A and B are shown apart, each in its own frame.
Chain A
Amino acid sequence: MSTPTKEAAEPASKIDMKESGGGGEVPSFDVTLQVRRYDPEFSDEARWDEWTVTMYGTDRVLDALHKVKWEIDGSLTFRRSCAHGVCGSDAMRINGRNRLACKVLLKDLDLSKPVLVEPIKGLPVEKDLIVDMEPFFQSYREIMPFMVNNSPAPTGERIQSPEERERFDDTTKCILCAACTSSCPVFWTDGQYFGPAAIVNAHRFIFDSRDDAGDMRLEVLNDKEGVWRCRTTFNCTDACPRGIEVTKAIQEVKRAVLSRSM
């Protein structure tokens, strides 16, 4: 993050091109999807539906879901927006692991078996792959996810060194998709636990040199439903589609709580 801008050497006007990659024909293959369906308007029972669709080289799980929705069963329901892993709408359980459907390439899965798609766990299912996100955002709001700075604002920017900026870089990447929180066994059994995403967002401010409310957030997270519930199973780190070292961030917050109380 902190690499200062420097001049790149002027590149050559012309270079020898090797065979530009990309291969020939785009391969196609059949994919069987098994999707967990639930619509309380029509039945209290959840069920599994299965479809086999033909997909292509760079297609993702989201493309297969769209193919079903657009060509076979329009009632299949899931959230999605940007379709390239930055908006956080389409977190779901794919073959038992929390992933963004738009970031999982079909060709990277074992297609000899059906691909299992379920809603993320621990949040109430509303319909098919859509869950109620309110409890998740409630925890997020409770850790005061905004900068608090009590000193008079300067005319220009507040000064922050590249090193200070780097300190919390990892946790600024969070897109609030809930993949981490809904992969956490503690969260599954105790919905009151703040969960990894809220702690990640607290970390983002606690370690920001410009912020003055770190103590208040640490107080909140020292609660019985706070950081101490974390059992460091690393599910969250594995689930994060942004590559945030979630468990490490939680550990850093735990240490900050301890050093503060001493």
Chain B
Amino acid sequence: MQVHKYDVVIVGAGGAGMRAAIESGQRAHTAVLTKLYPTRSHTGAAQGGMCAALANVEEDNWEWHTFDTVKGGDYLVDQDAAEVMAKEAIDAVLDLEKMGLPFNRTPEGKIDQRRFGGHTRDHGKAAVRRACYAADRTGHMILQTLYQNCVKHNVEFYNEYYVLDLLTVDEEVTREDGTTYMQKKTAGVVSYDLANGEIHVFQAKSVVFATGGLGKIFKTTSNAHTLTADGMALAYRAGIPLEDMEFVQFHPTGLAGLGILLSEAARGEGAILRNSEGERFMERYAPTIKDLAPRDIVARSMANEVREGRGAGPNKGYVLLDLTHLEPAHIDAKLPDITEFARTYLGVEPYTEPVPVFPTCHYAMGGVPTNVNAEVLQDNDTVVPGLYAAGEVACVSVHGSNRLGTNSLLDINVFGKRAGLAAAEYASTAEFVDIPENPTAFTENQLNAMRASTGGERTSTLRTELQETMDANMQVFRSEETIKEALAVIADLRLRYKNVQIQDKGKRFNLDLLEAVELGFLLDMAEVMTVAALHRKESRGGHYREDFPERDDENFMLHSMMYLDPESSTDGTNGIRADTKPVVFTRYEPMERKY
């Protein structure tokens, strides 16, 4: 066991982690632990843009952006956080430009902007050009630019280090009124070096989780193979609650059958969705902004067209994204990558043929609860000193029940920066917390048991069964029946997971072993997501219950908070305690969400 000591340890090197590292690295002794080489992170797959009310091409302001974010999230957004994000968006874009990001430009040489789903002028009057972009490679450019600046500032990376445990200690604290509670404190993390299988303990005053999402819970997903809910699961196992986990975004335009993302920018540039009858069906579902309605609405509309028999293709299983009325030169200039995806993976020529698309699991709105300073909360309002989270792993909550397109690239930049600043600031005065005794015992026992297991279950078999049940039961349409079906399958898989047997017995680059560990994260988070979905007996944003098709503000205008609690039993699901947390309102009263 090797022990390292840093002021700040950042876990994850996607957009949020590297944005944090750029700030923290210039102020405190900082290390970034990442299970992938930094430029491999899935931020690089983001395509369409990053919204900020620069007003470079038409009138706009951050208050309109705040409103759109709140409405897009079906009013489950914490409005103070949305305000911070929309306000700081402008500097976040300008920061990136000054770091060298090659944005597309207007004829005057300013950053160009384009339309994106749910982003409107003056509280919903019409679509507005708010998304700053670099062709359809905005995420790629952000990831590269942030990595370039990490190189510039000599940020210290530990590449291919998997973090497998979060070390915290509980301290009894007495309140002013004499009552007591257990306060969590951050001590560090336990990490596994993929290259040789060695375990490292990183003691740190501040730990920033920036580990990304959980897309691999589902079979059809735009997410990378490596997005296995690691950070959420580690926080949850350490006793941190998870907020709004039932809300998962299904992006409308995944390549049919493959799930590969085709950016909403296609529709921003004028592409439209059609069913097998050639009808532009979004005119029926969202008469004002049609194909540029928020993603939850478009995804459900598409699934509904297919369900009602108007799907295209041999099995009537998808709808069509039609770009054929756009000029090929315009497509080449604005959407080069995604049209290449259609050609490479489906053999479809977007100039002349519509592209088969179907919703694909894309983004977790929920995650580790934080306040606007990216400080992690151990309950509704108690901060865990020294623990931070930013990006998809976190829930601030700026996305509520449905994230608007481009707001994730914005989220990682605004809250990544805030996390890095806050983590360094805290470390400048805090003392190290002593590492608990036997810090690696949990991790080593888990890995040794997996290496020794002769149980005969395959990781891939269990993972496939999980993904199939989640696609079938927890996608854009849910009901008590489907949710309970998913829960039963997950419970069975959890039992079988104890018998997972790996074939690779070596120490070097043992990805067979790590995939088995990652499956454990996926199973934990699938269960939390499903239990949260069972509790929310209403339909809101990305969570649609066929047995409760209306939004129910009276009973459910609340964040859900799920705690690991072996003592508790919820609707037959042992070990998860469900609680709620009030939504923060500042200026917008909930209204019916129409587009």
Contact = CB atoms under 8 A, between A and B. Distances in A.
A81 B93 CA distance: 27
A180 to B, nearest CB: 15
A97 interface: no
B503 A74 contact: yes
A36 interface: no
Interface stretch (B96-104, B555-563, B567-575, B584-592): B96-104
Interface stretch (A38-46, A110-118, A215-223, A227-235): A38-46
B105 A160 contact: yes
Contacts of A147: 99-100, 148
Interface stretch (A27-35, A126-134, A188-196, A249-257): A126-134
| Majority SS at the chain A contact face | loop
Contacts of A11: 270, 272, 280, 322, 325
Contacts of A168: 102
B452 interface: no
Given A3-B334, A82-B45, A84-B341, A146 B283 contact: no
A208 B110 contact: no
Contacts of B256: 22
Contacts of B459: 70, 74
Contacts of A140: 151
Contacts of B270: 8, 11
Contacts of B97: 157-158
Interface string A142-178: 0011110100010011111110110011001111100
A75 B503 contact: yes
Nearest to A145: B148
Interface stretch (B174-182, B232-240, B504-512): B504-512
A3 B41 contact: no
Q: Give the most central of A12, A17, A89, A127: most B CB within 10 Å.
A: A17
Interface string A53-78: 00000100000000001110111010
Nearest to A165: B105
Contact of A84 (B102, B109, B260, B502): B260
A102 B339 CA distance: 17
B330 interface: yes
B326 A58 contact: no
A77 B513 CA distance: 11
Contact of B104 (A1, A12, A77): A1
Given A81-B40, A127-B509, A20 B94 contact: no
A45 B235 CA distance: 43
Contact of B105 (A73, A162, A208): A162
Given A70-B460, A71-B460, A176-B39, A17 B277 contact: yes
Interface residues of A, number: 80
A43 B354 CA distance: 52
Contact of A159 (B41, B109, B280): B109
Given A2-B333, A105-B344, A159-B108, A39 B272 contact: no
Interface stretch (B68-76, B134-142, B381-389, B430-438): B134-142
Nearest to B115: A5
Interface string B30-61: 00000011011110110000000000010000
Most central of A12, A16, A75, A84 by chain B CB within 10 Å? A84
Nearest to A168: B102
Contacts of A6: 330
Interface string B316-336: 000010100110011001100
B65 interface: no
B333 A3 contact: yes
Contacts of A144: 152
Contacts of B41: 81, 87
A82 B44 contact: yes
Contacts of A58: 257-258, 345-346
B327 to A, nearest CB: 8
Residue with the highest number of chain A CB atoms closer than 10 Å, among B41, B100, B225, B459: B100
Contacts of A137: 37
B356 interface: yes
B361 interface: no
Contacts of A162: 104-107, 109
A141 interface: yes
B380 interface: no
A169 B334 CA distance: 13
B314 interface: yes
B141 A86 contact: no
A22 B356 contact: yes
B333 A81 contact: no
Interface in B504-540: 504-512
A130 B100 contact: no
B531 to A, nearest CB: 28
Most interface-central of A25, A40, A83 (chain B CB within 10 A): A83
B267 to A, nearest CB: 11
A14 B322 contact: no
Contacts of A15: 274, 278, 322
Interface of B: 36-37, 39-42, 44-45, 57, 93-94, 97-100, 102-114, 129, 134-135, 137, 140-141, 144, 148-149, 151-152, 195, 224-226, 256-258, 260-261, 269-270, 272, 274, 276-280, 283, 312-314, 320, 322, 325-326, 329-330, 333-334, 337, 341, 344-346, 348, 353-354, 356, 458-460, 502-512
30 contacts: A1-B104, A2-B105, A13-B283, A16-B278, A17-B274, A21-B353, A23-B314, A58-B258, A58-B345, A58-B346, A69-B460, A73-B503, A74-B512, A75-B506, A75-B512, A77-B504, A82-B224, A84-B261, A84-B341, A86-B45, A87-B36, A87-B224, A89-B36, A105-B344, A126-B195, A153-B98, A157-B111, A158-B98, A162-B107, A175-B44
Given A13-B283, A87-B224, A176-B39, 11 more contacts: A14-B280, A15-B274, A17-B276, A20-B354, A58-B257, A58-B258, A77-B512, A82-B225, A84-B345, A87-B42, A128-B509
